[in-house]
């Protein structure tokens, strides 16, 4: 009897282990040098998606041009500034080019290239605001962006000028906080701020560029050769005029007129709700496809893991029950965001190999949704009248068979609504994975907004898509419930 419980416990543990090993990629021997370079999702004019949703910008063009001159290959991964820097630390990627200011702290951690663009921090306020200087910030709320030099600069002034800061993960949300009047000002690198204003963001710059620094390309100490190639390529591009062509393409020659023309090139023309929907339909559907793919794959694994862990919880074996309770306790308790970042940026440094974002996302959802599934599987079986088990056993059925033939069919009936509910929850939870750079629906929304600054309209579209899908699933759930209970 006890023996049977233990063998199921062992089988379940092995299944989970096997499942994890399938997903840990093997290191590959590279023939020609190919590097994965992380970048921000939204930092126009340095990196952003154009209206055809290809990644463009000064950083992207520059990196590609240098790779071409120096004879290596690059894959650019837009994962967001914070995620990019963390991935570089965890050696998930080989370099970062993302309007990254060269600072002493970063030079200690990474190899930073020669500066390829020099920039200062400016303060911007809402168009029509009375604030024109730092002195007027006392007691006010100021928006900054996580992990940026502009953010650090603002924080360094906090004591002196007595303002509060609020932090955002991408530039657009930071600007919106100022235009809606929640914050009175934001701090941003001058060309980025100028670009947003040229694109129609209702802000104005009120300070001269301060704390001038250079942007550099960052890589790890293992890739010193890559940093040298970057510097050599940059010199060549500056000498042959390619460098200034790239800058002019996005920033014009500096005159207002040429900047406006440079912006026109990368902007959508029709900015009505339906115009924007038409222009971005393909991208949004691409994001939705990724969301559905992640959801379906995660639900399959979460169901397998959940059912196994749930069954462990009802076995007459203390060890098996302990494993089940601990699993449910830990993975239901951890916030999804923490779990995702832990698996994507924490685990690789532990095991010494990369975990692709998609895989990290699936593992995150499997553990979290699997724990919820396990809890209701355990609950569903426990909800079946205990007399049923006693009756089955007194008829001479062994525990395993009684569980399978008598208890489970009744338990599953109780669980069906929860399964569909779990599907809906998983679908919503995928949006959190945008933090590790999976291009699902939420991330797609962020990318589109970075280009056209139409936050309200685009988020409305994204919200509507989620609502439609969830409504369809809810109808399905009601229909299935009717069928089951009939």
pLDDT tens sequence across 327-357: 999 998 888 888 888 888 777 777 777 777 8
Domains 34-117+214-265 and 119-212 share a fold: yes
**Burial class (CB within 10 angstroms; exposed 0-12, middle 13-18, buried 19+) of 379:** middle
Name the pLDDT band for 185 (thresholds 50, 70, 90).
Answer: very high
Q: Which residue has the higher pLDDT, 93 or 412?
A: 93
Predicted confidence at residue 28, as pLDDT, reads 44
- How many whole angstroms separate alpha carbon 149 and alpha carbon 100? 8
pLDDT in tens, 395-447: 777 777 777 666 677 767 767 777 778 888 888 888 888 777 677 788 778 77
Q: How many CA atoms lie within 13 A of 407 on its CB side?
A: 28
Kind of pairing between the strands at 164-168 and 185-189? unpaired
Predicted confidence at residue 263, as pLDDT, reads 59
Helix axes 58-70, 242-251, angle to 10 degrees: 160
Q: Tell me the Cα Rg of the chain.
A: 27
Predicted confidence at residue 135, as pLDDT, reads 94
Class of domain 34-117+214-265: alpha beta
| Residue 77 φ/ψ, nearest 5 degrees | -115, 110
Residue range 363-375: mean pLDDT, rounded: 90
Q: Are 40 and 46 in contact (CB under 8 A)?
A: yes
pLDDT, the chain, mean: 82
Residue in the block written with tokens 């020099």: 118
Share of the chain above pLDDT 90, in %: 31
Share of the chain above pLDDT 70, in %: 84
Q: Which CATH number fits domain 119-212: 3.20.20.150, 3.30.470.20, 3.40.190.10, 3.60.21.10?
A: 3.40.190.10
Predicted confidence at residue 452, as pLDDT, reads 66
Predicted confidence at residue 63, as pLDDT, reads 96
Name the nearest CA neighbour of 352 among 52, 78, 25.
25
Q: Is the pLDDT of residue 96 over 60?
A: yes
**Sequence ranges of the domains in the chain:** 2-25+273-485, 34-117+214-265, 119-212
Class of domain 2-25+273-485: mainly alpha
Name the pLDDT band for 3 (thresholds 50, 70, 90).
Answer: low
Q: Is the pLDDT of residue 30 over 60?
A: no
Predicted confidence at residue 82, as pLDDT, reads 80
Predicted confidence at residue 25, as pLDDT, reads 47
**Burial class (CB within 10 angstroms; exposed 0-12, middle 13-18, buried 19+) of 45:** buried
Task: Tell me which DSSP letter residue 133 carries.
Answer: S
- How many whole angstroms separate alpha carbon 465 and alpha carbon 338? 26
Q: Is the pLDDT of residue 5 over 80?
A: no
Q: Are 402 and 389 in contact (CB under 8 A)?
A: yes
Predicted confidence at residue 257, as pLDDT, reads 62
Name the nearest CA neighbour of 266 among 450, 442, 124.
450
Which of the residue ranges 15-29, 221-235, 271-285, 355-369 has the most confident prediction, judged by mean pLDDT?
221-235
């Amino acid at each position: 009897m006890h023996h049977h419980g233990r063998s199921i416990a062992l089988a379940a543990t092995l299944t989970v282990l096997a499942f994890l090993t399938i997903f840990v990629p093997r290191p590959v021997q590279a023939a020609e040098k190919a590097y994965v370079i992380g970048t921000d999702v939204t930092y126009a004019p340095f990196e952003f998606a154009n209206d055809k949703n290809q990644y463009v910008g000064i950083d992207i063009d520059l990196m590609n041009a240098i790779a071409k001159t120096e004879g290596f290959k690059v894959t650019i991964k837009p994962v967001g500034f914070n995620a990019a820097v963390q991935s570089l630390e965890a050696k998930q990627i080989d370099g970062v080019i993302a309007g990254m200011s060269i600072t002493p702290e970063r030079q200690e951690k990474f190899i930073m290239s020669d500066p390829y663009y020099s920039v200062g921090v400016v303060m911007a306020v809402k168009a029509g605001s009375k604030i024109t200087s730092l002195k007027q910030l006392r007691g006010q709320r100021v928006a900054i962006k996580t992990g940026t030099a502009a953010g650090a600069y603002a924080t360094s002034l906090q004591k002196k000028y007595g303002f509060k800061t609020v932090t955002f993960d991408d530039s657009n949300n930071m600007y919106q906080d100022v235009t809606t009047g929640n914050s009175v000002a934001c701090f941003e690198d001058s060309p980025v701020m100028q670009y947003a204003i040229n694109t129609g963001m209702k802000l104005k710059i009120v300070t001269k560029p301060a704390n001038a620094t250079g942007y550099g390309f960052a890589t790890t100490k293992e890739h010193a050769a890559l940093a040298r190639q970057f510097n050599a390529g940059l010199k060549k591009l500056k000498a042959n005029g390619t460098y200034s062509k790239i800058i002019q393409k996005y920033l014009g020659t500096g005159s207002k007129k040429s900047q406006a023309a440079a912006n026109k090139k990368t902007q959508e023309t029709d900015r009505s709700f339906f115009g924007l929907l038409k222009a971005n339909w393909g991208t949004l559907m691409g994001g939705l496809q990724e969301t559905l793919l992640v959801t379906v794959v995660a639900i399959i694994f979460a169901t397998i893991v959940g059912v196994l862990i749930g069954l462990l919880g009802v076995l007459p074996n203390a060890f098996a029950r302990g494993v089940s309770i601990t699993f449910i306790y830990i993975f239901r308790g951890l916030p999804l965001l923490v779990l995702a970042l832990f698996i994507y940026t924490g685990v690789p440094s532990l095991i010494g190999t990369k975990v692709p974002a998609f895989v990290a996302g699936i593992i995150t959802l499997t553990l979290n949704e699997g724990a919820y599934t396990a809890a209701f599987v355990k609950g569903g079986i426990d909800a079946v009248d205990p007399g049923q088990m006693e009756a089955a056993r007194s008829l001479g059925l062994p525990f395993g068979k009684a569980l399978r033939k008598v208890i489970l069919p009744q338990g599953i009936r109780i669980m069906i609504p929860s399964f569909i509910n779990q599907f809906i929850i998983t679908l919503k939870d995928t949006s959190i994975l945008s933090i590790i750079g999976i291009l699902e629906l939420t991330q797609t929304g962020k990318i589109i907004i970075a280009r056209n600054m139409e936050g309200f309209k685009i988020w409305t579209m994204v919200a509507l898509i989620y609502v439609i899908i969830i409504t369809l699933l809810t109808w399905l759930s009601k229909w299935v419930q009717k069928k089951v209970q009939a």
